Amino acid sequence: MKLAIFGVTGRMGLAIARLAQAAGDVQIVGGVCADEDPALGRDIGELAGLGSLGVVTTADTASGLLGADVVIDFSVASAVTGLLALAARQKVAVVSGTTNLDDAAKKALDKAAQSVPVLWSPNMSLGVQVLAELVEQAVRRLGPGFDVEMTEIHHKKKVDAPSGTAKRLADAARAARPELREVHGRSGDVGARKDDEMAVYGLRGGDVIGDHTVYLFGQGERLELVHRASSRDLFAHGALVAARFLVGKSPQRYTIADVLG
Ligand SMILES: NC(=O)c1ccc[n+]([C@@H]2O[C@H](COP(=O)([O-])OP(=O)(O)OC[C@H]3O[C@@H](n4cnc5c(N)ncnc54)[C@H](OP(=O)(O)O)[C@@H]3O)[C@@H](O)[C@H]2O)c1
């Protein structure tokens, strides 16, 4: 598999480079970073602590995608629409894990999927996919007599909130109870909790990779469904599995559930 990495100098981008190189059957052919990145023009292998790979970072997305079967994107939301347009034009499949996409970027995912296979997921882990299925089932089975709330915890450098995974888990809860309305802060004289509220709170600190807890509060009991990521490699591994899955597939949108089969 010939792989390009978009956002290659970031935490996830470098984790992808390391795992891709360790896989043995993946060739990194390009890596794109931001214009103003101090690592622009540097060897990707050296940045990832792998020794020289002979492939340097570029801010020119078109040349970064040259020769790639698939691009893995973990960057910033504002860069994703441009990447998708070029990947579609150059017939490069796209795996994107970038979160906090706006409506234009979400539409761009659909548009690109008319030309190339596209998989976007706010969480590439197998465990979170199953957690979302469990959340939907628990909310449906326990019904409106249980109050649904959730917390997400991430490292202090994370720039968006709530996390993409929390939004996905909120969607899973709403698949069972469409009336649930997200609440993102309670402060002051807010009154008693309303039945259709579903608080989604973000905590930030230290180097936490990603914890998500969904609470279902009943009378005299509560259920907590928890996922804790202990290594960033978890997401990088999932993205590489997804990238392999996309190569040779027909143009359309895919999900992690498709990858799991
Ligand atoms: N789906 C999942 O499983 C999953 C898991 C972890 C993280 N994420 C998401 O993935 C994204 C990246 O996370 P991270 O922790 O790796 O963040 P990060 O360390 O900040 O990396 C983001 C990288 O993207 C680069 N970038 C910015 N603008 C760019 C552009 N126009 N073209 C190319 N690269 C550009 C940044 O460069 P500069 O630093 O020079 O701006 C940085 O190197 C976030 O949205 C995060 O929420 C998703």
Does the C-beta of 83 come closer than 6 Å to ligand 1? no
Does the C-beta of 11 come closer than 6 Å to ligand 1? yes
Write the DSSP assignment of 194-253 as a string of letters: PTTEEEEEEEE-TT--EEEEEEEE-SS-EEEEEEEE--THHHHHHHHHHHHHHTTPPSSE
Integer-rounded Cα Rg, in Å, for the chain is 19
Is residue 135 left, alpha or beta, with left meaning phi > 0 and alpha meaning psi from -120 to 50?
Answer: alpha
Does the C-beta of 121 come closer than 6 Å to ligand 1? yes
Burial class for 174, CB neighbours closer than 10 Å (0-12, 13-18, 19+)? middle
Q: Per-residue pLDDT averaged across 55-61, rounded?
A: 98
Known active-site residue 194 = no
Does the C-beta of 75 come closer than 6 Å to ligand 1? yes
Give yes or no for a contact between 251 and 114, defined as CB atoms under 8 angstroms apart. yes
Tell me the residue length of the chain: 261
**Bond preceding residue 38 cis, omega within 30 of 0:** no
In angstroms, the Cα distances linking 83 to 14, 34, 105, 201, 253 are 18, 12, 10, 30, 16
Does the C-beta of 162 come closer than 6 Å to ligand 1? no
Q: Per-residue pLDDT averaged across 130-159, rounded?
A: 97
Report which ligand 1 atom has the smallest distance to the Cα of 128.
3
Known active-site residue 184 = no
CA of 95 to the centre of ligand 1 (A): 13
Q: What is the pLDDT of residues 188-210, one digit of tens each?
A: 999 999 999 999 999 999 999 99
**Predicted TM-score (pTM) of this structure:** 0.86
Q: What is the Cα–Cα distance from 150 to 259, expressed in whole angstroms?
A: 27
pLDDT value at 82 more than 90: yes
Does the C-beta of 120 come closer than 6 Å to ligand 1? no
Q: Which parts of 130-196 are beta strand (E)? A: 147-154, 181-183
pLDDT at 123: 87
Q: What is the Cα–Cα distance from 150 to 170, expressed in whole angstroms?
A: 8
pLDDT band for 260, please (50, 70, 90 cuts).
confident
Does the C-beta of 97 come closer than 6 Å to ligand 1? yes
Among candidate residues 2, 155, 158, 249, the one labeled active-site is 158
Report which ligand 1 atom has the smallest distance to the Cα of 160.
47
Q: Per-residue pLDDT averaged across 222-241, rounded?
A: 94
pLDDT value at 87 more than 90: yes
Q: Per-residue pLDDT averaged across 175-191, rounded?
A: 96
Q: What is the Cα–Cα distance from 148 to 39, expressed in whole angstroms?
A: 44
Report which ligand 1 atom has the smallest distance to the Cα of 75.
24
Q: What is the pLDDT of residues 29-53, one digit of tens each?
A: 999 999 999 999 999 999 999 999 9
Distance of CA 220 to the CA centre of its chain: 36
Distance of CA 184 to the CA centre of its chain: 21
pLDDT value at 232 more than 90: no
Q: Output the CA angle 18-250-27, nearest 5 degrees.
A: 20
Q: Output the CA angle 115-16-241, nearest 5 degrees.
A: 60
Mutate to test the pocket of ligand 1, among 12, 47, 204, 241 (most ligand atoms within 8 A of CB): 12
CA of 76 to the centre of ligand 1 (A): 5
